Amino acid sequence: MSGTWIERFKGLRLLPDDVREDLIQGSKVVSLPARTQVFAPGQSADSLLLLLEGTVRVQQKSDTGREVFLYRVHAGESCVLTTACMLAFEEYSADGIAETDVTAVAIPRKTFDDLAAKSSVFREFIFTAYSRRITDLFTLIDDIVFQRMDVRLASRLLELAGKQDIVHATHAMLGSELGTAREVISRTLAEFHRRGWVEQSRGEVHLTGRDGLERLVRSAGGAY
């Protein structure tokens, strides 16, 4: 009973065998191509998704037509907030878009409720996922309110680059990630360039001075 997708989720490894069986039987693995709308406001979700591969971008459309980036779901995480909706029979206000090709486990409402009743390990898994997401939202709010844009941009660039030294994103995309205007990104990147921290070309940013960016982030007590 090892080698199933369950092993990929730390919180589920401790599930007793019979519950595992239920979970595997009662759910199915699905694939979605990049740029699919995974869920949308006004469309009541009927499954909880656990991501196996790819990333999903969750954002909120404002009344004014603009969008705020809320968070990104990575492989090994779950779209908990879909659950919120699923269980609360409430309409969702955020929408999710597959950023890459995605494979995920879809747990339908019925299976979910059965497992929540049956297994305390499963309950804990769900609540931990919630908790983490909510904490992230708190951090996001904090950032938006108190953190300077240059610090937030530096931090996000480092995050998006990962181990590489390049970020593939237009200024407009970066602006939407941080909930700010493209112009602000352009100006801030120009400043970073002046300081020798980045080189730019169309649609990409090369990090040529990570340490500068890192120092900036640290100096502000940032999260990364």
Residue 74: DSSP 8-state? P
Report 90-109 residues binding its own copies (CB under 8 A).
Answer: 90, 93-94
Can you tell me which of 1, 13, 21, 146 binds its own copies, judged by CB under 8 A?
146
CB 44, min distance to its own copies, A: 12
> 């790819």: which residue's tokens?
54
The dihedral built from the CA positions of residue 80, 86, 87 and 92, taken in this order, carries a sign that is positive
Asked if 148 is part of the footprint of its own copies (rule: CB under 8 A), the reply reads no
CB 83, min distance to its own copies, A: 7
Considering beta carbons, is residue 18 or 138 the nearer one to its own copies? 138
> 């909880």: which residue's tokens?
48
Strand 166-168 to strand 204-207: parallel, antiparallel, or no bridges (unpaired)? antiparallel
Tell me how many residues contact its own copies (CB under 8 A): 43
Closest CA to 71 of 141, 4, 18, 149: 141
Q: Which of these ranges, 18-26, 84-92, 96-104, 182-190, lies near DNA under the rule CB under 7 A?
A: 182-190
* H helical segments located in the chain: 17-25, 80-88, 109-118, 120-146, 149-161, 171-178, 182-194, 210-219
Task: From the list its own copies, DNA, none, pick the one residue 202 interacts with, judged by a Cβ distance below 5 to 8 Å according to partner type.
Answer: DNA
Q: Which of these ranges, 1-9, 12-20, 177-185, 211-219, lies near DNA under the rule CB under 7 A?
A: 177-185
For residue 175, count CB atoms less than 10 angstroms from its CB and return exposed for 0-12, middle for 13-18, buried for 19 or more: buried
Closest CA to 48 of 17, 26, 70, 18: 26
Report 185-214 residues binding DNA (CB under 7 A).
Answer: 186-190, 200-204
| Radius of gyration in angstroms for the set of CA atoms belonging to the chain, rounded to a whole number | 19
Site residues, DNA (CB under 7 A): 146, 148-150, 170-172, 179-184, 186-190, 200-204
Residues that bind its own copies (CB under 8 A): 60, 62-64, 66, 68, 70, 81, 83-85, 87-90, 93-94, 113, 116-118, 120, 123-124, 127-128, 130-135, 137-142, 144-146, 179, 221
